[in-house]
Amino acid sequence: MKELSRSLAKLDGSLSQLEAFFADTAGTPRFIALLSPTCPGCINGADAVREAILEEQDTELAVAII
């Protein structure tokens, strides 16, 4: 399987990056979070996801935070 990036990327206004994520992670369990950048609770949620899933991940899991 292709090595996935653990860095953040700004979406370019189209769905091409998200489509590529789905194509690159076919057959892999996925976790997708849709968060508002202007919502304080969502920002806290993004931090929680980063800590709980991205930093402590022991299993193969593709993660997208949008």
**pLDDT bucket at 58, cuts 50 / 70 / 90:** low
SS3 33: strand
**8 Å CB contact between 45 and 8:** no
Token readout for 26 is: 């076919």
**pLDDT bucket at 1, cuts 50 / 70 / 90:** very low
**pLDDT bucket at 2, cuts 50 / 70 / 90:** very low
Which of 13-17, 24-28, 49-53 shows the highest mean pLDDT?
A: 24-28
Token readout for 10 is: 């700004």
The model's pLDDT over 9-19, given as tens digits with 9 standing for 90+, comes to 667 778 888 88
